[in-house]
Structure 1
Amino acid sequence: MTIEALWQPSNALPGELLYSKSEYGFRFQAANAKELVTNEGGRGFTSVSIDTLQIEISVQTCRALYVWGYEPYTSWRNEDFDAPEARPGLVFLQPSEPYEEGVSLSIPARHWGRRYNRSTGWFATSPHDRDDAEWHVEIAKGIVLGGSTQGIQSVYLRPTFED
């Protein structure tokens, strides 16, 4: 299965990306739950996974809404890197087969390195630590997806940390 990635300019989904150190995971808190339900489109949610990191998707529209998932900070490699310049917008992840509510699809297995820049607070993951993205789009506050028509090439996250 392939998953094509397309983007268009728009406003990023308002809310806050959080990272719980005690639970080793990311979660997104939407600023407006009604707006999130409206963006879902009526056919439910699913996700596209990069190992245990999930990109939440609207089944109806194929829109990537936010990122969540188990991602132990103890395995992140500390590294200085620059987060890409990103524009606010919508990213659509269109699979070769239709999504089904609650049935996650995996991005093909490759090594996705995990990096964290202590001085800026950015976490990044990309195949083999190379970001080959043609574009970078902030889909929600603190969540940037990098991609091309070949699919997702990188994920950059800048969360608020909790204990």
Structure 2
Amino acid sequence: MAHKFLVKSANVLAGTLTYSESDRGFAFHPGGLDDLAERVGGEGRTSLVADTLQLEVAVETGRALYVWGYLPRESWGRTSMELPDSRIGGVIVELDDPPLEEAISVSIARSNWEVFFDEKTGLVRVTRNQFLSEELIEIADAVHLGLAGAELNSFWLEPEFVA
């Protein structure tokens, strides 16, 4: 299965990204359900899976929407980091095979994802290669995708931490 991540002009999806200490995972809470419904379209949503982190995608358009999923904090490496320059935009996911289908997740890669966390800033980075040069695109409030060409290399997340 080949996949490409293509950048297009778009506004961010308004909302709040949280990390629940008790659930040990991320959740995205859209600011407006009408905006989300418009982005999703009539064919529903699916997820691209990076280990246990999910990138929610609109089936009709392939548009990346937000992230969610189980990601225990105990496994995160501690480091100092700042969010690199990021631009607002949309990311369209193109899959060769299988096509996107509602509620049927597709694996990006189950292994080789590292997680880094800066306790001072609250920034979380989930990455395949921390040394690769990448372009950051903010697709939703507090959700940035790091692209190396047409490949997804990382997620840069700025969650609110909740009990």
Q: Distance in 2 between matches of 1:58 and 1:38?
A: 10
Deviation at 1:110, TM superposition (A): 4.0
Mapping of 1:45-56 within 5 angstroms? 45-56=45-56
Deviation at 1:74, TM superposition (A): 1.1
Q: Distance in 1 between matches of 2:150 and 2:143?
A: 20
RMSD over equivalenced CA pairs, Å: 1.2
Read off the aligned partner of 1:95 and give its amino acid letter.
L
Q: Distance in 1 between matches of 2:3 and 2:136?
A: 17
Deviation at 1:83, TM superposition (A): 1.6
Q: Distance in 2 between matches of 1:130 and 1:28?
A: 28
1:146 is matched with 146
C-alpha deviations, 1:77-106, integer Å up to 9, x for none? 110122221011101111112101111111
Does 1:82 pair with 2:74? no
2:124 is matched with 123
2:133 is matched with 132
2:33 is matched with 33
Q: Is the 8 A contact 2:17 2:143 kept in 1?
A: yes
Percent of residue pairs bearing the same amino acid type: 36
Deviation at 1:8, TM superposition (A): 1.6
Question: Normalising by the residue count of structure 2, what TM-score does the alignment of the two structures yield?
Answer: 0.95
Question: Normalising by the residue count of structure 1, what TM-score does the alignment of the two structures yield?
Answer: 0.95
Deviation at 1:125, TM superposition (A): 1.1
Does 1:44 pair with 2:44? yes
Deviation at 1:158, TM superposition (A): 0.5
Q: Distance in 1 between matches of 2:149 and 2:114?
A: 21
2:15 is matched with 15
2:94 is matched with 94
Read off the aligned partner of 1:108 and give its amino acid letter.
A
Q: Distance in 2 between matches of 1:62 and 1:149?
A: 17
C-alpha deviations, 1:9-48, integer Å up to 9, x for none? 3211000001100000000000001110111011010010
Length, aligned pairs only = 162
Q: Distance in 1 between matches of 2:74 and 2:137?
A: 27
Q: Distance in 2 between matches of 1:79 and 1:129?
A: 12
SS of 1:120's equivalent in the other structure is: coil
SS of 2:39's equivalent in the other structure is: helix
Structure 2: segments with no counterpart, 5+ residues: none
Runs of 4+ in 1 over 4 A off after TM superposition: none
